[in-house]
Amino acid sequence: MKEPLVSVFHRVPFLSRLSSEELERLATAAEESRWPAGAVIFREGQSGQAFYIVKRGQVEIVKTVDGDEEVLGVHGPGGFFGEMALLEDLPRSAMARTLEPTELVELSRNVFRAHLQENPHSLLEITRELSGRLRETDGLIIRRLQDKNRQLRVAYRELQEAQAELMRRERIKRDLEVARGIVEDLLPKDFPAIPGWQFAARYRPAREVGGDLYNVIPLKEGRLGLFIGDVSDKSIPAALYMAVVRGLLQAEAQRSLSPRWVLNRIHHLLEVAAESSMFITAVYGVLNLANGEFRYVRAGHEPALLYKRRERASMILEGKGTPLGLLPEAILQERRVIISEGDFLVLYTDGVNETTNPQEEFFGRDRLRRVIEQRAQLSPEALCEALLREIEAFQGKAEQHDDIAILVVKAAP
């Protein structure tokens, strides 16, 4: 056991809440290195595979802007840098260079991701840290640009504003790429092959990626968990929050077949661990594969739709419930329906019915129900494609403001 390293890890905010055993495991997997003054640890544009903690010495973080070096920050003992490498595969966004003889502790991406699988709560901590780092960096860049603007002549003012705008757009573009990568990794690539049941799903991100999530979870006693949710925020914070919810869902769904108990448990864990204004709306239900019984809870989300083949009509699966992580106590009502042969269930996020056309009209739930009822003979795959085509045709040249996620489950006749 590398005892001295445990205290080093303990000074890192998003690792400080870990148990002594968890810190010891990370310390065992970490590597130490010594660097002379003026040494470049990594350069801007290089591939990032690890993050670093300063044990002794000082490291400056430098970004090149129009050929000039901008010092974004200086880290002394207990400081850390390179943490974005834990979440993304993109090149380094700045250079790290020692200011004096320095000792570093290095933790690789693979080791940290293995840790996240066992401790999904750590994602909340790193979310807060990344948000704070981004605010500090943005503030530093803005203050320095303002100082330069006061020194430059009026003739250069428009050029500087254009440069600042370009930097802002590049940062947004980079955030979106990271968020899309996280979302794509979290959504299921395929579904269980179960006789008598068919599954299909589609996800279409908006320009500003949100936190839509769906999942199909095999459970004990011939049951299946069906989930769809929508995080209130956008970009990287929403994607990381969604990752936390997915990890909690995977764990808690195995502990109980009561959807109300599972969502109450997730709500409680989010309330205890999270210190943000984000929350998630969701529909979660447990399907009995033998008799089609579907027990579900609606937590402030768009109600699911159930098409009944015998009645040739769709019904709205109502239910009272508050979003998870929003209020101190969640109000959740569990309900029950039967999915018979030929029936199918449609779960979706509000990006579907809140799609607008050039006239600023909403696609709406009534139009969604009509499309479902008119194409009830289709397979889940074909129905998902038909829904997306209808939404795109309605939207026309209007901008897509929110992600669209659809999950269809059919009891094969």
What is d(CA 323, CA 332) in angstroms, rounded to the nearest whole number?
9
* Residue 392: its H or E element: helix 380-395
- Which of the residue ranges 16-25, 105-114, 391-400 has the most confident prediction, judged by mean pLDDT? 391-400
pLDDT the model gives residue 169: 61
* pLDDT tens sequence across 298-341: 999 999 999 999 999 999 999 999 999 888 889 999 999 999 99
| Single-letter amino acid code for the residue at 235 | S
CA-based angle 255:244:380, to the nearest 5?
Answer: 75
CATH class of the region 3-125? mainly beta
The answer to whether the 3-125 and 181-411 domains have the same CATH topology is: no
Structure token digits, residue 226: 């069906």
pLDDT the model gives residue 247: 87
What is d(CA 338, CA 39) in angstroms, rounded to the nearest whole number?
67
Beta strands in 76-173 (DSSP E): 80-81, 95-98, 102-108
Count of other CB atoms within 10 angstroms of residue 159: 10
* pLDDT tens sequence across 183-202: 566 678 889 999 999 999 99
32-62 core/surface letters (b: 16 or more CB in 10 A; e: else): eeebeeeeebbeeeeebebbbbbbebbbbbb
What is d(CA 51, CA 386) in angstroms, rounded to the nearest whole number?
45
* pLDDT tens sequence across 36-45: 999 999 999 8
Mean pLDDT of all residues belonging to the chain: 85
What is d(CA 74, CA 57) in angstroms, rounded to the nearest whole number?
10
pLDDT category of residue 364 using cuts at 50, 70 and 90: very high
Is the per-residue pLDDT at 295 higher than 90? yes
121 backbone dihedrals φ, ψ, rounded to 5°: -65, -25
* pLDDT tens sequence across 333-362: 999 999 999 999 999 999 999 999 999 999
CA nearest neighbour of 242 among 291, 276, 289, 219: 276
pLDDT the model gives residue 86: 72
**DSSP assignment of 173-184, as one string?**
HHHHHHHHHHHH
**DSSP assignment of 64-95, as one string?**
EETTEEEEEEEE-TT-EE-GGGGT--SBPSSE
Q: Which residues contact 282 (CB under 8 A, 6 or more apart)?
A: 227, 228, 229, 230, 245, 263, 298, 299, 300, 301, 323, 324
Count of other CB atoms within 10 angstroms of residue 382: 13
For residue 324, the SS3 value is strand
pLDDT the model gives residue 2: 46
pLDDT the model gives residue 339: 98
Count of other CB atoms within 10 angstroms of residue 361: 12
Structure token digits, residue 263: 């969502």
- Sequence ranges of the domains in the chain: 3-125, 181-411
Structural contact between residues 355 and 390, judged by C-beta atoms closer than 8 angstroms: no
Structure token digits, residue 244: 């936390």
353 backbone dihedrals φ, ψ, rounded to 5°: -75, -15
Structure token digits, residue 147: 């100082």
* pLDDT tens sequence across 206-241: 765 567 889 999 999 999 999 999 988 766 777 778
What is d(CA 212, CA 224) in angstroms, rounded to the nearest whole number?
20
| Single-letter amino acid code for the residue at 126 | I
Instruction: Indicate the CATH number for domain 181-411.
Output: 3.60.40.10
CA distances (Å), 279 to each of 47, 74, 354, in order?
33, 34, 19
CA-based angle 143:147:153, to the nearest 5?
Answer: 140
**β-sheet bridge partners, residue 69:** 64
* pLDDT tens sequence across 3-13: 478 888 888 87
* pLDDT tens sequence across 44-92: 988 888 889 999 999 999 988 777 888 888 999 988 888 777 767 778 8
Percentage of the chain exceeding pLDDT 70:
80
Structure token digits, residue 360: 């600023």
What is the average per-residue pLDDT within 394-413?
Answer: 91
CA nearest neighbour of 138 among 79, 87, 70, 88: 70
**β-sheet bridge partners, residue 332:** 321
- The helix-helix angle for 235-252 and 259-273 (nearest 10°) equals 130
Structure token digits, residue 120: 């999904």
